[in-house]
Structure 1
Amino acid sequence: MNNIFKYGSVSRIPLYNCSAHTPEEWSQRDGVRRPLYGIADMIYGLTFNMLYIPILSVLFEKENIKMSCFKIMIFLASVDMLALWVNSITTGFLAYQGAVFCTYPNLIYVTGMAGLGLWCCSCIIAMILVMNRLLDLSKSTLSTLIFEGNRTYLVMSFTILYGLYFVVFTPPIAFSSKYHTWFFDPLIFVNRTDEYANIPHGVNNFLVVGITCLLYVSFCLVLGKKLEQASNSGSSKSNKMSTQIFIQSAMICAINQVASIVYVIMNFIDVPFWLIIVGHSFWLFGHGAPAIIYLCLNKTIRNGILKKIGLRKSVAAVVTRDTNSGAFTKTN
């Protein structure tokens, strides 16, 4: 975005100047119409955006939003819904049209900025969700210090600023129907790919992989100790909710890891088309999968939705916090 302010418009940015041909000529020259891919992407994005609506309605319920983990999940779901408008719905429209960057330079530049920022933001939110569950199990005092009450919103404001950094100060991704994905190189000029390199994005993706792996190992060690203590005391219910939500966040991070690695590789190395499609699919799945994970594995969300549609009777719920583990439990 800083280049738009610097040069006055997208078309005036030297590396994004499309004046050599008309938009139609650029499409005919470099584009490939992919109607099936396009329709599939648009259906996917619209479907999962609709799935998120009842999930958010449950997360926003008074007894749920008290818990820091659900506050974080609300932020993650909101970011995912916005991201799906870029990587699914807009991508589907562009693929159907057989568009390249210079077909719709303003649209692709702006959505490319948004898609990049939302991706990096969601990576950090997913890791914070894992960290929140880990601290609840191992360092309840520190968890309270960081996430108690409205402090969770302060933590989430950092993730927003983090995403905005990529929007404002780093090169955006640009769509090409030829490869059915978004590259940093808009493919306007030959042999100038290195000039579009986004090093902060690569650092983000490798940090996602490295830090998440460390969190997995740490959680396994902590959970092992907690389960041993619980078995000795004859009670393991207090850790059940933290374990369930950790499994959900771990699955989300695992999907993000695959997308992270593939996207870094394909922006610097020529890879086969099938691998590009795999990377793009995991990017889509990374923003859509949480909806399925929550519906299948999160009992609170699933039961809340069933109650709203009248398939389950409402029962008064009581939320308690275990003094030893710091984990929240919800009883009906």
Structure 2
Amino acid sequence: MELFLFKHQEYERLYNCTNLVIDSIPIENRRLTIEALINLILGVIYFLLYLPCLYSIWKQHWKNDCYTILLYIGIVDLGWNRDVFCSYPTLIYIVGTFVNCFWVAETSADLVLAFNRCIQIISPSIAKFLFKGMRTYIWLLFCTLYALYCMFFVNPVLFSGIYFAWFFYPFVGYREDYGEFVFDQLPSYHDVSVAILSPLIYLIFAIALVIKSKKSIITPNQAPTQYFSISRLEKMVFLQVFSLSLLNTTECLFYIIMQYTTQQKWMTILAEFLWQVFLFHIHGFPPIIYLTLNKTIREDCLILLKKLKNINKDPPSNVVNVMVTPFNANS
């Protein structure tokens, strides 16, 4: 955004579409109708599911710092938006800056959430010291400031209809020579950090959970016998965070590879679907996970649904029936 607003001459040098003929690649090779339709339908479904979940999370975030971070992530999720760059250069450039912002804010908050959950298991007293009250908002403020920096000072990702994905290079599919185009390294460092730290934190979380679940049985005349007691819910949480952190790692690595290698269409489409559909905390899947695994959110959503049904069914209670008698002038 800095180039576009304050260094427009440099922007025109790097993003000039004057000598590029868009139709040199036929439109049928730039349009993936089925993939776009699937994304649209899933996006509407996930959006509608997310709204009641956010209502429940908003209710709970006053009581628990974890829900405050989830609320931040949920709001960022709902801000995501969806030709090649030279079709609408200004629009795609501006949208790309927001994509940068939302991606960085959301993945940073993911790491904060993972750290919060891990510390909560290892040492509740340290977790209370780090996240009690307004301190949670300080963590999220750092995520927001970092995201705003990337929005204004990092070259944005730009959507390509050829590969159905986002790239930093504006002429992907048309010009293979990057020429003088300079890639910002910060997004790559960020993605590598997320790809490494996310599974690492959740691995520590899983180990801490197992250690904390270890119990001892003491029987007469026998040495204490140790065993592990992990509830079904804890097993589901572990499976959830392991699977989704693995997807998060895969997604970040895919996008790093895509930016610096010859693009394979299957890889870019897979990465895009991972990005939009499957990743935990990122785009569509969170409400399904919340409704499946979180009893509090599920019950709040059911209560909200019942209230909405009652509003439509129950007639207003303050209606007064008035009988009108015709006026007779001869009486």
Superposed pair shares fold, TM > 0.5 = yes
Give the partner amino acid of 2:296.
T
Give the corresponding residue for 2:47: 49
- Tell me the number of residue pairs that the alignment of Structure 1 and Structure 2 aligns: 292
Q: CA deviation at 1:14?
A: 1.1
| CA shift in 2, pair 1:214/1:37, >3 Å | closer
Structure 1 residue 103: Cα displacement:
0.6
Give structure 2 stretches of 5+ with no counterpart.
219-225, 308-331
Query: For the Cα contact (< 8 Å) 1:170–1:198, is it kept in 2?
Result: yes
* Percent of pairs with identical residues: 27
- Partners of 1:118 and 1:216 in 2: CA distance: 23
Q: Structure 2: how far apart are the matches of 1:209 and 1:273?
A: 22
CA distance in 2, matches of 1:135, 1:13: 48
The answer as to 2:261 corresponding to 1:269 is: yes
1:56-83 CA deviation, whole Å, 9 max, x = no partner?
011111x553201111110111111112
The 5 A counterparts of 1:216-295 are 216-229=202-215, 248-285=240-277, 286=279, 287-295=283-291
Counting only pairs closer than 5 Å after superposition, residues 55-134 of structure 1 correspond to structure 2 as 55-61=53-59, 63-83=60-80, 86=81, 90=82, 99-134=83-118
Match of 1:5 in 2: 5
**Code of the aligned partner of 2:117:** R
Counterpart CA distance in 2 for 1:9 and 1:304 is 53
Code of the aligned partner of 1:47: I
Residue type matched to 1:37 in 2? E
Number of the residue aligned with 1:18:
17
Match of 1:298 in 2: 294
Shift of 1:201: 0.9
Distance 1:234 1:184 in 2: 52
The alpha-carbon distance between structure 1 residues 149 and 100, as it changes in their structure 2 partners (threshold 3 A), is: same
Q: Equivalent residues in 2 for 1:26-41 (5 A)?
A: 26-27=22-23, 29=25, 31=27, 32-41=30-39
Q: CA deviation at 1:217?
A: 2.5
Secondary structure, aligned partner of 2:262: coil
Distance in 1 between residues matched to 2:190 and 2:272, nearest whole Å: 17
Query: 5 Å matches for 1:172-211?
Result: 172-187=156-171, 189-192=175-178, 195-211=181-197
TM-score if structure 2 supplies the norm length?
Answer: 0.79
1 CA distance for matches of 2:304 and 2:227? Answer: 35
Matches of 1:119 and 1:194 in 2, distance apart? Answer: 26
The Cα shift of 1:28 comes to 5.5
SS in 2 for 1:182: strand
Look up the equivalent residue of 1:71 and give its one-letter code: T
More helix per residue: 1
TM-score, with length taken from structure 1 = 0.79
Conserved in 2, the CA contact under 8 Å of 1:133 and 1:242?
no
Residue 44 of structure 1 and its aligned partner are, at CA, apart by 2.1
